[in-house]
Each structure stands twice: as structure tokens, then as C-alpha cells.
Amino acid sequence: MSNPIFLIIQREFLSRVRKKSFILVTLIVPVAFAALIFAPGLLASMPEDSKRIIVLDEPSLLLPHEGKEQYAIEYLDPRETNLELAKTSFRDSEYDALLYIPSGSNWDPDFIKNNVLLFGKEDPSMELQGYLDYLLEQQIDKAKLLKNGVDPEIIAQIKTNVTIQSFTLDDEGNDEQSAVPIKMALGYFTGLLIYIFIFFYAVQVMRGVMEEKSSRIVEVIISSVRPYQLMMGKIIGIGLVGVVQFAIWIGLSGIFYTVISTVFFPELFAEHAAAGNAAAKIPGLDVIDMLRSIDFITISFGFLFYFFGGYFLYSALFAAVGSAVDQEADTQQFMLPVTIPMILALTTTMSVVQEPNGTLAFWMSMIPLTSPITMMARLPFGIPLWEVFLSGAILVATFFIVVGLAGKIYRVGILMYGKKVTWKELFKWLKY
């Protein structure tokens, strides 16, 4: 007789992979990812829903800017009109807003700054207001400087922007351009992904356990297999669903990216890439060099290891939670304490990537309930190997202990109906 655990894995896997929702999620996620990558570029390149503004600029404050604005601006001649007249003509015109800059008695910038008025046919957008604020502030600053006898050119020259080029010096004395910002982003992003994926799949394990319990099939099954086999079969089966989903996502993302970038928007992509490069091209820093300093192989293996380690650990805990309750609503009291370490790990990720070798980062990447996220966030920075192995070993060891304990709770819980279970009770079950 073949080991029934394989049958269970097979059923858990196939019953999920064949679901419509699986196919849907699997297809939508890469599309959403592609959309996330391309949408900002697309939006930026879309022609503005251009607003048209009339400006009555008594002090001629904006005059040097004429014609360069993001908005179609029509300047009224202050010698020929006043606010009342401008308002009347604005009401009948097709313009969207009327900006009034008064000159006051003596063009005092402080008077002007407090008395600028904006009229709109509907509420003027934040974006428009922000833009006008910025524009006016700039001009008023200049006016003030001039008034105090300072040349704005000098101020512009005085402004300093320091760019430090950092290098990591390895044992052989080679220096590599360090890529701290990219590493931080990568660490944060992969840590977040681990968090999302662990939750996503571990919750499916919990749901599966609850489904078997509430549909009452569980007793039939465990009269054929050990409860432990059923639990492990479910965890492994859903883990495999995760593997397949990952593989499809990676493949599809690649295809989408290539297709969209080369077929649909070749010019946009070229622009986008150029813009990206330009932004990253802080003088003296080479993106290619920076990327070369990141050990992608370690990160990829680390990602797989910490995903599965974290997933197995948490799904065992979630399976125990699912077995202990009758309805989804009752899971809250157990879910919260179980997930707090994960949330903690996620919220500290920002500090961890800022100081990847700090005490907080070290301990959080050793504690098995937080290490999948925290260690993942640290990996791009090149962590001493012994730390990685130690954290991995602790994670695996904890998994075996937790699975044993979760299995005990599970064994009792799946046959317990109509009882509001407390924490005290769960601990008692461990001793059954």
C-alpha cells in the first residue's frame, strides 16, 4: 500500500489547482504586477486633462514664467481690468479657474502671499493648488531676496547637494561599488513578499482544516490515515500549489514584461528605461556595477528557503488554530497572537534595512517566528554565512517542534465540536 500521505498531497494539490479561483489569481497577479510597473509610466505619458486658467496678475509676479506652465494660462492685462470684471468674464468663459494676485499698495510680498485668490467653477484640484503655491512661493522668495538686496543667483549657487560614493572593500582588497539604496529596496521588497506569501498560503491551510472539520468528513479520513499524515499532507500539498503558482508567476511576469515593453509601447519603454537610468545615474555611480555587488543567487535560494521554512512553520500553527475552532469568526483570538511576530517583523523591516547588522536585525533574524522576513530583508546586504546557517537551522528545528505540538492540538481539535476553546484548553490538549 502506497503511503496515504501522497494521496492526500495529491488531492490537496489537484483540488486547488483545478479551481477557477486559482487560475484567476494566478493570471491576475502578474497582470497586476505588470500594471504596477507600467501604470505610472503610462499615466505620466498620458496627455493631461488640461485645465485652463485665467490669471489676473497685478504685480506681474508670474510674468517671467509666461508660457512655461503645465496649464494653459491666459494672462489678463491688469491695466485693462479688475477682479470684478475678471470674475464676470471668467463666469461666461470656458476657463476652469481664475487666479487673482493682488499687488496691494506697494507690492509688499508678505501682503501678496496672504491675499492670492483662486476661483474655480468647481473645487480646484489639490494638484493645481499645489502647483500654484509652489510657483508663487518661488517668485515671492525671489522678490523678497531682491527687496533685501540679495541676488537670487547667488543663493542658487550656494545650495549644496552632497553625493557620497560608497564602496564595500572585500577581503581581497577589491572595492565594489556598494548599492545601499537598491539593497534596501530589495530587502524590503523581498521581506514583504515573504510576509504576503506566508500569510496567503498558511491561511489556505487553515481554511482547508476548517472545511474538513465543518463538513465533518475529517473523522472518515482519520479512520483511514493518521491525523498527523492528514495535516502534513495538507501543508505539503498547499505548499506545492505555492511552488507552481510561483513558477507560473515568474514565467508570466517575464512574458508580460517582454511583450508589453517591446510590442505595445516600445517608445514608452525606451523612454521609461532612459528616465530610470537618468534617475539612477547619480554622478559616479553605475547601476550595473551596483547590481553586480548584489548576490542574487544567495537571495534567490534564501527566498525559497525562508518562504518554505516560514510557510511550514506558520501553516502548522494555522492548522492547529483551524482545528480548534468551529467557525472562521472564532479564529481571531488565536490568530492575533500567532501573527503578531510576523507583523512585528514586517514593521521593523524599515529599521532592519537601514541597519542590517544591528542588534535588532540580528536577533529578529534568529528568532524563528520573525526570521523568514527579517533575514530575507538582510540578505541583500551580504550577511555572514554562519548567521544565515544558524538562523536556518533554528528555523528548521523549530518547525519540527512546532509541527509536533500543532499535530497534538490538531488531533484533538478536529474531533471537538460545539465548544468555545480557550488557550488553557489548547495547552491541555498538548498533554492528551
Partner 1 sequence: MITAKKVSKEYSAKLALDGVDLSIPKGSIYGLLGPNGAGKTSFIRIMNQITAPDKGEVYFGSELLQPRDIARIGYLPEERGLYKKMKVGEQVLYLARLKGLTTNEARSKAKEWFERLEMSGWWDKKVEDLSKGMAQKVQFVTTVLHEPELLIFDEPFTGFDPINTNLIKGEIQRLNENGATVIFSTHRMESVEEICNHIGLIDNGTVMIEGNLLDIRKHYKDGTFAFTTRTVIDDWGGHEVFLQREDPMGYLTVLKAAEFPKELVISLSQKGELVAFEEVLPTVNDIFIEIVKNGPKPWNHE
Q: How far apart are CA 398 and CA 396, in angstroms?
A: 5
Residue 215 binds partner 1, judged by CB under 8 A: yes
Residue 217 CB, nearest approach to partner 1 (Å) = 5
Q: Which is nearer to partner 1, 4 or 41 (CB)?
A: 4
Contact 382, 410 (CB under 8 A): no
Strands 117-120, 167-169: pairing is unpaired
Window 62-101: contact mask with partner 1 (x via CB under 8 A)? ----------------------------------------
Total residues contacting partner 1 (rule CB under 8 A)?
23
Region of 223-231, 241-249, 303-311, 317-325 interacting with partner 1 (CB under 8 A) = 223-231
| Helix (H), strand (E) at residue 300 | helix 296-324
| φ/ψ of residue 305, rounded to 5 | -65, -50
- From 220-228, 369-377, 387-395, 399-407, span contacting partner 1 (CB under 8 A): 220-228
Q: How far is the CB of 216 from partner 1 (least distance, A)?
A: 3
Cell of 279: 534617475
**Which of 74, 137, 170, 219: binder of partner 1 (CB under 8 A)?**
219
Site for partner 1 contains 23 (CB under 8 A): no
Q: Where are the alpha helices (DSSP H) in 4-151?
A: 4-17, 20-45, 83-92, 109-115, 126-147
Provide, rounded to whole angstroms, the least separation between the CB of residue 9 and partner 1: 12
Contact stretch for partner 1 (CB under 8 A) within 3-11, 184-192, 303-311, 341-349: 3-11
Q: Which stretch binds partner 1 (CB under 8 A): 31-39, 191-199, 212-220, 278-286?
A: 212-220
Q: Please, which residue, 11 or 144, has the CB nearer to partner 1?
A: 11
For residue 173, how many other CB atoms are within 10 A of its CB?
6
From the list 88, 114, 166, 224, which residue makes contact with partner 1 (rule: CB under 8 A)?
224
CA 380 to CA 292: how far, in whole Å?
11
Least CB distance from residue 332 to partner 1, whole Å? 24
Among 192, 221, 244, 367, binds partner 1 (CB under 8 A): 221
Cβ atoms 287, 277 nearer than 8 A: yes
Indicate the helix (H) or strand (E) that contains 289: helix 287-292
CA atoms of 296 and 301, how far apart (whole Å): 9
- DSSP-derived letter for residue 49 is -
Residues between 395 and 424 that touch partner 1 (CB under 8 A): 415, 417
Sole binder of partner 1 in the list 156, 162, 220, 385 (CB under 8 A) = 220
DSSP 351-407: HHHHSTTSHHHHHHTTSTTTHHHHHHHHGGG---HHHHHHHHHHHHHHHHHHHHHHH
Q: Residue 21 interacts with partner 1 (CB under 8 A)?
A: no
Binding site for partner 1 (CB under 8 A): 1, 4, 7-8, 11, 15, 211-212, 215-217, 219-225, 227, 415, 417, 428, 432
